[in-house]
Amino acid sequence: MKKIIFLSAMLLTSFYAKAQKGKLVEDKLFKVNLLAPGISYELGIADKTTLNLEAFLGLALNGGSDRSTNFGLYPGLEADVRQYVNFNRRLNKGKNISGNSGNYVAFLNQLQLGKPIIGNLEYASDYFYNGALVYGIQRTYKKGFYWGLAFGPGIFVDDFYKDAGILIDVRLGWVVSGRKK
């Protein structure tokens, strides 16, 4: 796990060192997310590349007709480096790229704790890590409303379990600062 964090930090540093002045991406977008309540910050680090950092709360429910219902709110962190792939095509068609509206590829990292900050549903594992190579779509509208969808193959790791599968990440919220009008 320490090697993954170290390699991610080195990769992000190299992207930041190659930052250019004529960026197509918007810098310093602060977003509020509703589906997985949280906040995110998207920082432009190159012409079509951003670093997206997010803190969120995950919700889990466990119950049934023959047992009591338990719940938990779990803190989580997400970081991904996004390379936008269709800005030029969108601009040529007269479409909006404001708020980083575009399609991207990214390496997405998610870490969520297994102990709830609110609630009584505790997982056997202390953490959950997801890492995936994803294709994503993000659209931001005039009033700041945005939605995003990312999906792709990934690995899923906790204290006891390692597996591979498809990661699907859905976002819905508002860009509250940093967006060009």
Residue 14 has pLDDT above 90, yes or no: no
User: How high does pLDDT run on average in the chain?
Assistant: 87
Residue 19 has pLDDT above 70, yes or no: no
Rounded distance between C-alpha atoms, residue 42 and residue 47, angstroms = 14
Q: Measured between alpha carbons, how far is residue 49 from residues 23, 25, 70, 166 in Å?
A: 9, 7, 41, 23
Name the band, by pLDDT with cuts 50, 70 and 90, for residue 180. Answer: low
Sign (positive or negative) of CA dihedral 19, 24, 29, 34: negative
Pair 12, 4: CB distance under 8 Å: no
Provide the residue range defining the domain that includes 36: 2-177
Q: What is the pLDDT of residues 90-127, one digit of tens each?
A: 999 999 898 999 999 999 999 999 889 998 888 878 99
Under DSSP, the state recorded for 47 is S
Looking at the 3D structure of the chain, how many domains does it have? 1
State the pLDDT at residue 2: 54
Helices in the chain by DSSP H: which ranges? Answer: 2-17, 87-92
State the pLDDT at residue 34: 94
Name the band, by pLDDT with cuts 50, 70 and 90, for residue 1. Answer: low
Rounded distance between C-alpha atoms, residue 82 and residue 99, angstroms = 14
| Structure-token pair, residue 41 | 């910050």
Residue 74 has pLDDT above 80, yes or no: yes
- Beta strands (DSSP E) in the chain are 29-33, 38-44, 49-64, 67-84, 102-113, 118-119, 127-140, 145-158, 162-177
Provide the pairing of β-strand 145-158 with 127-140: antiparallel
Residue 64 has pLDDT above 60, yes or no: yes
- Cα 161 off chain centre by: 23
Percent of the chain with pLDDT over 90: 59
